[in-house]
Every structure is written in C-alpha cells, then in structure tokens.
Amino acid sequence: MQLENIEILENHSLAPYAYTQAGGLVDYLAIPKSIHELKVLVNWAKELDMPVQVFGRLSNLIVRNGGLRGLSILLHDLRDVVVDQNKIVASAGADLIWVTEQAFEHGLSGLEWGAGIPGSVGGAVFMNAGAYGGQVDMVVSSVTALMPDGTLQNFGKDVLEFGYRKSVFQSNGGIIISATFELQPDSCAAIRTRMDENNFKRANKQPLNYPSNGSVFKRPEGYFAGKLIMDSKLQGVRRGGVEVSKKHAGFMVNVAHGTGNDYEDLIHYVQKTVYEKFGVNLETEVRIMGER
C-alpha cells in the first residue's frame, strides 16, 4: 500500500534486515527517506491507534517468531553525515562504522572503538553502545529526537541520562533523528592504527563468520559474562539453529536457519545454567520483542 508515495509493506518479515537473519512478521513495515516521511508514518499510525516501533540496523534486537503488531519503521535510509570542524552530525540511520571512517578521513579521534561495531547511530545512542574502552556518552554532545507530541527536540548531553547500555530514549518515547559527536583532532595515521588494532582484536575473538547480535549479555558486576558461560561448559550448546559460539562464549550465532524463539530459548537456558552454577543473574544486552 502507499501513503503519500511512501511504500508500506504488509505482513513482512524482519529477518532479511536483521543481523541475526531471524525475526517474525510485522503487520506493517516502512522505510522513510526523510524526516517528513517519518512524521507522516507516525501520524498515520497514531490516527489508527496503532503501536509504532522504530529501528536502525536491527543489530541488537531479537524478534520472536510471532512478530510485531502495528507499524515497524526502519531508519536506515536516513543516513546523512556532515563534518563541521571537530564535530560530526550523523543521522540516526547512518552506519556507525561509516561515521568512524568519516572521522578518520577528517583527522578526528574519539570514535575508534566503533570501527567494527555493526548498527546505526540511532541504535548506538539508544543503547549507549561501546567497546574497547570507548562509549557513546564519551563523544556525543547532543541528540535531536522526534517526540510523541510531534515536535523535534534537542537534548544536550546533561539530559541524555546515559548509563551502562542505557539512555533517556528508552523511557521518553522519543525517536532519535540525529546525533552530534564532538571529537578531537589527531593524525590520520594514529587514528587508523587504533581502528586497525580494535578490528584485529574483534576478528580474532569474535565469530564474525556467522550472523549474530554481538554480545548477548551485559557485564555482571565483578564478572565477565563470556567467562561465566564458558566455565559453565555451554559453548556449542544449541537450541534449534542457534548456538553459543565456540569462539566467544558471549555470542550466540545463527548456524542453521535459527529463529527468534531459538535465540530466546537459548538465552533462558544459559541464564538458568549460569545462575545454578555461580549464583549470577545474566541480564540481556540485546532487546527481545514480539509475540511467541
């Protein structure tokens, strides 16, 4: 169907768009090409009293087999990146990896940790993503969001409520439109060296040859989730087509056409086993949504 020349797909699978290559059907799926189109879609759903979910690159999300009701919006066509002196303004759908490359090309340091992280700028801000000693809250100075009342609002760093894999957008209903990164000048050679070092570590430690969400669990205080899982002898354990990675115990990989339910079942089994062995509750870093 069409809405002001915006294509809306009905009963469409999210799996082809997800890093896990798993996910159920959504009632409606749309990919806006502008903020105006995003507003049109949100207003349409509001008029029909329809729930709305907004995603970037679906790199930190598990959608159950029953899928999602209402309208799902993917922002990956909103991907403008503008460099202005020591600042980069990136639209929510821009690949974080691409933004790190733009920082490198302009001799700006502070995003080297994101060189190999899949996902969008919006998702990274929403989850306060981080790796190798860096994190979104260390470099983001402001965020623009579309609020539930239809207005665009700018959030300074002091009101973004960043925490470990947390931001204010997990509770205020705002749809992240863009983020401003404030970086520091450095030589391109030094920046590239740090990016290459991080990517080398990632390639050696992580199972990049299979679809996955990256790290499944948050780091429990005083422990490492991957080591707890490894010490629980869970590497190689499967539920359906999803397996605890033999290369990195903190990852779950889709090795045989696994589903969202397979991921969730394996997560629950790992949580139960680790708690029984070590008394530690593993909290998921990935988001799990949808109906069974």
Whether residue 81 contacts residue 91, with contact meaning beta carbons closer than 8 Å, is answered with yes
Segment 3-14 mean pLDDT: 96
Q: How far is CA 117 from CA 17, 100, 123, 167, 202, in A?
A: 16, 10, 11, 18, 9
Choosing from 59, 109, 178, 215, which is the catalytic residue? 215
CA distance 118 to 126: 14
User: What one-character-per-residue DSSP string does 162-174 give?
Assistant: -BTTB-GGGTS-P
Assign 180 a pLDDT band (cuts: 50, 70, 90): very high
For residue 202, indicate whether it is catalytic: no
| 2-74 and 81-203: identical CATH topology | no
State the pLDDT at residue 70.
98
Percent of the chain topping pLDDT 70: 100
Distance of CA 13 to the CA centre of its chain: 18
From the number of C-beta atoms within 10 Å of its C-beta (0-12, 13-18, 19+), residue 78 rates as buried
State the pLDDT at residue 24.
94
Residues 131-172 pLDDT 10s = 999 999 999 999 999 999 999 999 999 999 999 999 999 999
State the pLDDT at residue 175.
98
Residues 113-135 pLDDT 10s = 999 898 999 999 999 999 999 99
CA distance 120 to 57: 6
The three-class DSSP label of residue 106 is coil
State the pLDDT at residue 258.
97
Q: How far is CA 265 from CA 14, 64, 261, in A?
A: 19, 10, 6
State the pLDDT at residue 291.
96
Assign 63 a pLDDT band (cuts: 50, 70, 90): very high
Written in H, E and C, the secondary structure of 223-280 is CCHHHHHHHCCCCCCEECCEEECCCCCCEEEECCCCCHHHHHHHHHHHHHHHHHHHCC
Residues 242-273 pLDDT 10s = 999 999 999 999 999 999 999 999 999 999 99
Choosing from 57, 64, 165, 239, which is the catalytic residue? 165
For residue 285, indicate whether it is catalytic: yes
Whether residue 183 contacts residue 111, with contact meaning beta carbons closer than 8 Å, is answered with yes
What value does the mean pLDDT of the chain take?
Answer: 97
- Supply the pTM of this predicted model: 0.94
Segment 58-69 mean pLDDT: 95
For residue 215, indicate whether it is catalytic: yes
Segment 84-102 mean pLDDT: 98
Domain spanning 2-74, CATH class = alpha beta
CATH topology of domain 208-289: 3.90.78
Q: Given phi > 0 = left and psi -120 to 50 = alpha, else beta, which region is 233?
A: left
State the pLDDT at residue 186.
98
Assign 185 a pLDDT band (cuts: 50, 70, 90): very high
CATH topology of domain 81-203: 3.30.465
283's tokens: 């909290």
Q: What are phi and psi of 204, to 5 degrees?
A: -80, -25
Whether residue 123 contacts residue 111, with contact meaning beta carbons closer than 8 Å, is answered with no
The three-class DSSP label of residue 184 is strand
Render the burial of 200-212: b for 16+ CB within 10 Å, e for the rest.
eebeeebbbebbb
Closest by alpha carbon to 123, among 97, 89, 92?
A: 92
Query: Residue ranges per domain, the chain?
Result: 2-74, 81-203, 208-289
